[in-house]
Structures are given as C-alpha cells and as structure tokens.
Structure 1
C-alpha cells in the first residue's frame, strides 16, 4: 500500500475518529474561554487529522500474522547515519552526470529518509503556532512522538504481531525529531497569514454570550456519547449478572434520564453543562416549566432526531427489501424524506450565520438557550 493509499484510508476514518478525539478539546475551549472560535476548531480538527494520517503511515499496510511470524529480518537498527551509507551504496547518483539525478530521486534510499524528515514538520508547526511551545519543548515532544512511532513498530503493534514487522531505526528517531525542529523554524514563514493566538483569544471574548449552532452541536454529540457509554456499561453489567432485559428498554430509560430528568433541575443536559449553556423560558428569562421543557425535549429528541437519524435511513434501506410492486411507494416516500432533510440542513445553515439562533422547536415551546456566562452577568 503506497503513501497515497494510506492517506486515503485515513481520510475515510477521519470524520469519525477525529470528531471523537477532538470533542474533549472542543469542550475544553468552552470551559476555558466560554466560547469557540471557528479557526480554533479548524486547527484542532486538522491537527487530529494530521496525527491520524501520520499514525496510519507508520503502521500500514498491516501484513498477515503468519507471514510476520516467519520473518527472519532484523527488528532494529542502532547504527546512526545508516541511511547515509545506504544512500551512498544503493543510489546511482554521480554528481557529474545529471541523468542519474532523477533515478536517485526515485530510489527508496532517498525517499525513505526524506519521508521521515517531512513526516513531523507539521508537528513542529502546530506546536509553535497553535500550542505556543518553545524550541526546547518542540525538540522533546518531537523526539517523544518519534519514539512512540518506533516503539509501535518494535512491539509488533503492541503485541498484535509475534514480532516487529517494521524496523526500529535510530535514524528515524533522529530524522523525525529534526523534522519537528524544522517545522518550528519554518512556522513564521507558513503561518504569517494566519491569526495569532492573542487575536483568537480576543475573538473568543467577543463570542462568550453567543449560543451558536456549533456550540449546540458539541453539546448534542457529548450527550450522545455519554448515552452510548452508559448503555454499553449497563449492557455489560446485565450480561455479567446474567439478567435478560430488552436493550430497547435500557436505551429508552437512559435517554429519558439524561435528556428528560436531569434538565428538569437546572435546564441543562450533561452536554449543555459541558459547553456552559442553559435552557430558559423565552418569556420570563427563567427556568422553564415542567411541561414546557417536556414539550421541547420531545420535539427535539422524540420527533426531530428520530426522523432524521432513524426514519429516513430505515425507509431508504427498504428499497432493496420490499416487493417490486411496492417499490414506487417506497421510492416516493424516500424522496419526500430526503427533501425534508435537505430543507432542515438548509435551515440550520441559515441559522448558523446568527450568533444565537432560536430554532423552530424552541419557538413552538417558547424556550431558548442562553450562555451560562450571560446569565451570571445578568
């Protein structure tokens, strides 16, 4: 598998893994700044993507376990500058003959060291620009990242393989560390058009009282992850206790507690608490009434989300299962549902340009969401 194919694999995995990995960082941004700047989100997301691609590049392709067990090749190289000696012996480079240059650039003994050098240059850039790390810190962290990569290879992917299927190479440690240092040095040249961290902090200060679509989405995803973890833990406990309970009942009860019971106390789910927003009565600016909150939560979690995430995919899946004489009706229903989903997406995009939008289900329940900071200032 070539480098390009590995990157394609990472791109396919990225939307799911990066979101889960980035979510705690997003929540931390709200906890620290009471706001979330879009550029910060781009930086965090792209940093996770970069690390994902880098990790895929050092572990893929995954060979057959039996083939690895039969390997007789060395598992490590502790001779520093071995790549220089290999370059001298394995490349056809003759300085006085330009025709050998292209062949040299295509040789593995040239590409491999260059790849290891370039692999960690973005790491140094991120550390200096976004995380504001010093030269010494970049040097140490670059070495530790490279050491993590090499130990991953040396241990055969943490014991999954009976031995290493890639070489632990001290030259790779040096080149990766040097790449991070180069990234640190090159940062001013590649980020001079980007906003500084001080400007981003000022921007965050002006957004503290906004309850944006992004902020709501982070809260919603957080609630979903908490719900998934709790139901999984309960399922394991029930299995160990050999208690047979329909998981639909368990899922429903956990959702009812997280999304219905907990918000009754302070107008917050766990996700909303994490990003510092609250549900209030739009008329009195106070805690919403019991039935008012029930109506709002039912609209969102009992109708809107099941419609978009449950009913639509279910109807689409029926197209390959129903008899031919009913396909027309299923196709028609699927088109209608997709059209409604598209309208919903367009509506959310339109609302995303507003600093603190009040969505249609909130208008119907006469509720709205406010920043906890704004409420404290009031």
Structure 2
C-alpha cells in the first residue's frame, strides 16, 4: 500500500512539473482556439495529464533491476477471471479477495479515461472503447516485451483479462458521463467565436504576467542545464560549481536579448501574446514605448536579476509585488508597464486604436 501511495505522489509531482512546462503553450492555444481560459477546462486538462502519468507509474514502476527479475508468463484465457470469482465466492470473501479486487481496480483505473473522452473530446462509447483497448494493449505489450527490449523478458504477466476489464472501465466511464444531467456536463460542444474580443480582466492580466515569468524561468533552465551537464562532464563537479555565477549571467543576458527583441518586433511580451493582449495609444514613438514598457514589465524583472545578490535579493521581490498590486487599480489593468509608457491595455483582437491616452491620475 505504501508503494502505491508513493507512486501516486510521484504521478502528481510529475504532473505538476510537466504542467508548468506546458502551461504557456496551453494558455496560448486556449486563447486562440477558444477565445479564453476557464478554470474548469484547465482543471480537466491538468487532471488528464496527472491521469496519464499515474497510468504510467502504476503499470510500469517501480522498474526492477535486471538481475532481480523473474520472467513472467502470458494469460490468453479471456474467461480466466470466472474461476477467480467462483473461488472467492466459495471461500466466502468475494469483496476482499485479492483476485476480485484486482478485477475491480482494473475497471476503476480506466473509468476516468471514459470521462475524459467525453468531457474533453466530445466523443462517445465507440471512441472510449477503442481508446481504452488501445491504451491497455500498449501497456500490456510494453510489459510483454520487457519495456520494449529494456529487459531480456517480461517481468509482468501479459493478461488478456486486463485488456477486457480496462476496456470495460473506459466504456463505463463514458457511459456515466453521458448519463450526467446536462447542467453538470462540461460545456464544450457549443460554437465558440474565438476571434471575438473579450474584456481585459485582472485575472487575464495576471495569467499573462505568470506566462512571462515562466518563459524567463524555463528559458534560464533550458540554457543552464545543458551548460552545467557539459561542464561537469568535461571538468568535474568542483570546477563546474565555480562557473555557476558566470553561467547564470550568460543565461540572463541571452534571455534579455531574446525577450527584448520579441517585444520590439511584435509589440508584445510572450505573456501578452499568450493571453491575446496588447498595449495601444502612446505619445511616445512606437519603438521607445515598447522599450519603456518592456523595462516596466518583464524586462525590469530580468534587469534586476543582474544585480549582485545583496541588492537583487530584495529588489526583485519588491518589483514583483509592486507589479502585482498595480494590476488592480490601474485603468484596463495595464499595470506598471502601462503607467510608465502611458498606454492602455486592450484585447489584441479589438479594432486598432492609435489615439493617445492619458496616464492614470
């Protein structure tokens, strides 16, 4: 039981990490294809991510050492479970018998797949049946082949009964989803005008700011990690540790060039582009307004990170706090970037407005 809890925790942690990496693309796709982002839909996709990782952990992990494995057999009898049920009944313990519980768990494991088939993809029983059978077959073949040749033989039994119970679980899941009252179903089938401008809300603005921070943070990791791996392999961990500060500085400078160039060329930060927002109306020349706005936004965060530790350790959090607070009282939630550039924030799909706007009083 302890191993199962540990595997469940591993799936959740892995889901959070993968979700962080995929968050910005998910937001961008949601705003372009659906015009916005709802908590319910985000929760469904995140649940699907955790579910897929949970399937992976429960069916394949923990991976044994090659020296400790024992080759498992194959069960091709689709009625094998009948004997298990009869035996459990004859012993008077059908509800606690391990073999019966395994059958129930196999069904329950694939119930969420049916819900996702209906809730996210608007498909019915046939697609759920094929999805459940296909995923279960892939898992069983992975086990049969010793994780596709990683091990000399299968260390878990290829069981045709698992194929049947897993597929049944997916079908039951989509059936339950279809039987839900209409008011409880995920509203995903209605026609959506993704090109219609939406209001600029404080939440939307904060999501864009979070996307900018994730782009910078993940970009830094994408630069530093290969650098450090190569450095450790070539010079050893002690010598590589001495260059951490230099590597961080290089990563910061590279990202400053990238984000500033992006802002100058597109007129928007990556976060603003993800949530379909843009700034408009300024007395400043266009290029200068973009630079000033960049410094008042994610650029200020990046530049403050270049300061020595004793200064950056309190200036960076202070800048983030001020930026967060100023989202709420400013007109159209334009925040600090809009204040310093004298611009306001609009939906990127709205008609172009070029008249100058006054700063907030």
TM-score grouping bracket, smaller chain normalisation: 0.7 to 0.9
CA distance in 2: counterparts of 1:377 and 1:84, whole angstroms: 72
The Cα shift of 1:259 comes to 1.6
TM-score by length of 1: 0.72
Paired position in structure 2 for 1:45: 46
The Cα shift of 1:163 comes to 2.9
Paired position in structure 2 for 1:104: 94
Q: Deviations over 1:338-374 (max 9, x none)?
A: 9x69x939x8499589995233454345455433212
Question: Aligned with 2:250: secondary structure?
Answer: helix
CA distance in 2: counterparts of 1:200 and 1:350, whole angstroms: 36
Q: Deviations over 1:245-273 (max 9, x none)?
A: 95335313321222222211222344543
Contact conserved, 1:7 with 1:53, CA < 8 A, in 2? Answer: yes
2:53 corresponds to 1:62: no
The root-mean-square deviation of aligned C-alpha atoms, in Å, is 4.3
Q: Deviations over 1:8-61 (max 9, x none)?
A: 232233321233245433321122123222221121112212222222211233
1:131-142 to 2 correspondences below 5 Å: 131-142=121-132
CA distance in 2: counterparts of 1:368 and 1:238, whole angstroms: 46
CA distance in 2: counterparts of 1:376 and 1:163, whole angstroms: 64
CA distance in 1: counterparts of 2:344 and 2:231, whole angstroms: 38
CA distance in 2: counterparts of 1:172 and 1:229, whole angstroms: 40
Contact conserved, 1:212 with 1:355, CA < 8 A, in 2? Answer: no
Q: Which runs of 5+ in 1 are unaligned?
A: 95-99, 316-332
Contact conserved, 1:223 with 1:269, CA < 8 A, in 2? Answer: no
Paired position in structure 2 for 1:265: 265
The Cα shift of 1:123 comes to 0.8
Report the structure, 1 or 2, having the larger helix content: 1
Q: Which runs of 5+ in 2 are unaligned?
A: 355-361
Distance 1:121 1:356, change over 3 A: farther
2:198 corresponds to 1:197: no
For these two proteins, the number of residue pairs brought into alignment is 340
Q: Deviations over 1:148-173 (max 9, x none)?
A: 22233223334443432222222111
Question: Aligned with 1:207: secondary structure?
Answer: coil
TM-score by length of 2: 0.75
Paired position in structure 2 for 1:370: 346
Distance 1:291 1:7, change over 3 A: closer
